[in-house]
Structure 1
């Protein structure tokens, strides 16, 4: 039994190690010669202590295991910028970790701008090798191409050189990282499809349904722009499968069903609920976007709607309207409830959901506390110039700024200026105020609240005072325009 356990452990270790071994590691003394051995390579420049690098490492290894067996293969390489690869990293202008770059035949080609998960890396890099449109020579080739990946496919059928074929191939080069393209000039395939000069979009088997065609033929003009619009409009169908790596494809008004979406382990159960959404989506084609999303992949998004978790099997539905306002279906999911909800959101009949802390009982401190529910009253409609800080409770820079900001509020408490702060992790931030890091500060003049200005100045009290004194709508009572304190004589 002991030997059996050792054997099993050895197998498990061997499987894990195999994944790691598929990632090549080059140092300064070998990088140039060995990278040249690979037609296409993705290189990760990393530092062992880097947290983002540690999170990427297992995904990178999984991707390498797949891509090394691709036809043609793609090499995944890593370079340690703190030890053996310092010179290589400097030569390739690496300034942060991890940095990923694509090399072709030993030469730098482009920065990698794709996803950072294994599936996304594989899809992105597969699109980097071979022709942008695969040539199909037999009916079997077409069938294999359509079923090889669970992705929409766009296929061109061309008897001869035409304007449409030129536009098709041009667009394939442009969209190769996002869309699977193939084309054929072979008579058997043309005859089978009954097309001599045309383009067809084929839906993947697992997303085919009775509410829309499984294949859609392009009927537009023979140019890349119109063909691109056709693909964009039809790519995801009436109800798309929204994932972390394609979330930007779907625009508002947007209705999302969150549940246990899993096309690998439970395709039948997944489509059971998707089909019910399709019944509603078909009546709103062109008016709104409908998608299904795995609840576990988008828990952070559910939190933005005030939903801690999705109970049971039934979907939870949330939406954003054309103004990006948020709404949640409060009734239990059903076709009828969803249809009413969609109508009400589109017609503006519902109160938007607002993520907000409670409004403070008092505002006696020099720095006022804004929350989503009092933002308009405290910031937008206060009739005063306003400096507002958006912070996160866990942010070290915010904690360092806090005493400075409090001192600033104390110095300006009798001025026609509001100094305010908002916890941006616990409240919805209005769209005009773009917050990507903490702390983020904005100056909102009292007569121009629709055009707040990001504050980019220093973080000391004097820095803030000089900025506010200069930009205040009316000169401050206690400071001149340069931020210098006014003397009693000057005031008289």
Structure 2
């Protein structure tokens, strides 16, 4: 038993090590010669201390293990920009980490703009080699193509040259990084499908179910845009498998069932719950988007709903409506409960979930504190022009701005202007604000609060005063329109 355990540990260790070994490391001394050995290569220029690089590293290694076995193989390379690869990084204009670039036969080809998790990297890079649409010459080849990747496939069947074939191949070139395409002109393949000039979207075998067809035929005109719309509409079916690399495909209103989705280790159990979602989804397919997601992969989304973990094996259902408001299905999952939840969502009968800090007991400071629950009162309906800062407690730039912002509040305390701050990490931010970094500031005129304007000015006290003085709906009492203090009136 001891030897058996030792063998298993050694095997697992070597497997993990092999993943690291599949990523090639080049330096200034050998980059030019070694990169030229590879027909297609993805190069990660990195710094060892970079947090984003550390996060990408295991995903990159997983992708390398797969791609090195591709036909033809695709090399994944890394270059340390702080040590042995400094000159190479400078030569290729690397200014941030990680930077990823695609090389072909030793020459730079293009910037990498794909996903940064293993599955997405693999899919993106496989699309970089070979034709955008694979030609299949037999029924066996077609069956192999449809099964080998376990993904949606779009296949064109053409007896002869046609406008539809031209539009199909043009779209394949455009979407090669997102969709698997194939085509055939062979008589046996066309007869097997019963098609002489047509396009069919095939769903992967593991997603086949009794609620929708396994394939969908295109019936529109020979127009690239129309074919694209057909693919977009049918790609994920009634309830798609939503993953980190395709999450943006699923549009609101959206209902997602989170549970232990795993089509590798437990396909039967995964489909047990998906089939129940599908039964409800079929009734609302033109009104709501449905999806399933692995709860562990989307823990950050659960956190946005105030959920630390999913307590049992049943799916947890969360939703967003057309306005991007959030909703939680509070009762235990069942077909009946899900059906009622979706009806209430569409009828506007559900109470939105707001991630919010408690409303402050006192809010009399020069800078008012907004939280999600009091946002309308403090910001939207305050009857004043408003300058609001969205910040993060850990943000260094926010900490530096804090005393300046307090000074702005003091200067504006007798004006028809409100200075407000809100912790955007602990409170839901309204969709009209585009908050991607911290601090983010917006100006909201009192008569048009639905059209906030991003503040792009300086961060010193005078910068804020001059901006507010110029933008204020009514001229300030203490400052002219240029931000100059007004002379105090004295009594005679």
TM range, smaller chain = over 0.9
Displacement after TM superposition at 1:347 (Å) = 1.9
1:440 counterpart residue number? 440
SS of 1:157's equivalent in the other structure is: strand
Q: Does 2:194 match 1:171?
A: no
Displacement after TM superposition at 1:233 (Å) = 0.9
Q: Does 2:78 match 1:72?
A: no
SS of 1:252's equivalent in the other structure is: coil
- CA offset digits 1:105-146 (Å, max 9, x no partner): 222111111111112111110111111111111111111111
**Counterparts of 2:375 and 2:436 in 1: how far apart (Å)?**
19
Q: Does 2:233 match 1:233?
A: yes
**Counterparts of 1:491 and 1:462 in 2: how far apart (Å)?**
29
1:222 counterpart residue number? 222
Distance 1:261 1:221, change over 3 A: same
Structure 2, gaps ≥5 residues long: none
1:343 counterpart residue number? 343
2:397 counterpart residue number? 397
Displacement after TM superposition at 1:373 (Å) = 1.6
**Counterparts of 2:289 and 2:14 in 1: how far apart (Å)?**
46
Q: Does 2:358 match 1:358?
A: yes
2:202 counterpart residue number? 202
1:411 counterpart residue number? 411
**Counterparts of 2:78 and 2:252 in 1: how far apart (Å)?**
39
**Counterparts of 1:250 and 1:88 in 2: how far apart (Å)?**
40
SS of 1:219's equivalent in the other structure is: coil
**Counterparts of 1:199 and 1:468 in 2: how far apart (Å)?**
59
**TM-score, normalised relative to structure 1:** 0.96
Displacement after TM superposition at 1:11 (Å) = 4.6
Displacement after TM superposition at 1:415 (Å) = 1.4
2:285 counterpart residue number? 285
**Counterparts of 2:239 and 2:150 in 1: how far apart (Å)?**
15
Displacement after TM superposition at 1:332 (Å) = 1.6
Written as runs of structure 1 = structure 2, the 5 A alignment for 1:20-419 is 20-419=20-419
2:461 counterpart residue number? 461
SS of 2:173's equivalent in the other structure is: helix
CA RMSD of aligned residues (A): 1.9
Distance 1:472 1:53, change over 3 A: same
Tell me which moved more, 200-209 or 340-349. 340-349
SS of 2:451's equivalent in the other structure is: coil
**Counterparts of 1:297 and 1:96 in 2: how far apart (Å)?**
27
Tell me which moved more, 53-62 or 427-436. 53-62
Distance 1:292 1:455, change over 3 A: same
- CA offset digits 1:285-335 (Å, max 9, x no partner): 211111011111111111222222211111111111111111111222111
**TM-score, normalised relative to structure 2:** 0.96
**Counterparts of 2:179 and 2:488 in 1: how far apart (Å)?**
71
**Counterparts of 1:9 and 1:345 in 2: how far apart (Å)?**
51
Tell me which moved more, 154-163 or 348-357. 348-357
**Counterparts of 1:93 and 1:25 in 2: how far apart (Å)?**
19
- CA offset digits 1:84-105 (Å, max 9, x no partner): 2222212211110000011112
**Counterparts of 2:180 and 2:295 in 1: how far apart (Å)?**
27
Displacement after TM superposition at 1:487 (Å) = 2.8
Displacement after TM superposition at 1:28 (Å) = 2.3
**Counterparts of 1:82 and 1:37 in 2: how far apart (Å)?**
24
- CA offset digits 1:3-38 (Å, max 9, x no partner): 998876655443333222222222223322322221
**Counterparts of 1:353 and 1:8 in 2: how far apart (Å)?**
48
Distance 1:335 1:10, change over 3 A: closer
SS of 1:37's equivalent in the other structure is: coil
- CA offset digits 1:433-456 (Å, max 9, x no partner): 111011111111112212111111
Distance 1:5 1:334, change over 3 A: closer
Distance 1:284 1:8, change over 3 A: closer
Number of residue equivalences: 492
SS of 1:343's equivalent in the other structure is: helix
Tell me which moved more, 93-102 or 11-20. 11-20
**Counterparts of 1:224 and 1:491 in 2: how far apart (Å)?**
78
**Counterparts of 2:224 and 2:490 in 1: how far apart (Å)?**
69
